[in-house]
Amino acid sequence: MTTKIHMLADALGRPLRLIVTAGQVGDITQAPALLDGQSANAVLADKAYDSNALRAIVAGMGAQAVIPSNRTRKIAIPHDHGVYKLRNRIERCFNRLKHFRRFATLDDEAARGLAHEYWKGINEPNLVANIRPTRARASLVLRKEADHRVQKVLLRKI
């Protein structure tokens, strides 16, 4: 059996509500529950959410429905293409959730190895190329221990 996550996100792509259903449940069936009690200027959704009933719910919220018409609709309802481009924010939210699932399932040894790999590949080169060269101009320098606790604070006269 598979599952499906139905999500409502804010304008910045942060999750507001999640509903988990069986995988065969249609997307639009959960939309009223996700939108219940919400306020918005616009509701963005893909073609799977194109229905007169959902458009009425969105209108009842005082919001604009930015939903492309399903190709089975006899008369297409226009939508704002510029605003619709912002719908990718919920896709990015789902991708972030999937990305962090990878880390949540690591054992301790694998987590340490991955952290070391990230340090060597990303953080250390950034430190050497971008941060150390600015050290002479810094008015506040923090020296940290291996566990990231602050060991010493150096304050230069300004």
pLDDT in tens, 63-115: 999 999 999 999 999 999 999 999 999 999 888 888 877 777 888 888 888 88
158 belongs to a structural domain: no
Contact 34, 52 (CB under 8 A): no
76 belongs to a structural domain: yes
| Residues written for the chain | 158
Q: What is the span of the domain harbouring residue 57?
A: 3-101
For strand 15-22 and strand 3-9, is the pairing parallel, antiparallel, or unpaired? antiparallel
44 belongs to a structural domain: yes
Does residue 1 surpass a pLDDT of 80?
Answer: no
83 belongs to a structural domain: yes
| Per-residue confidence (pLDDT) for residue 104, from 0 to 100 | 75
Number of domains in the chain: 1
Distance CA 109, CA 29 (A): 43
28 belongs to a structural domain: yes
110 belongs to a structural domain: no
130 belongs to a structural domain: no
> Tens of pLDDT along 14-52?
999 999 999 899 989 999 999 999 999 999 999 999 999
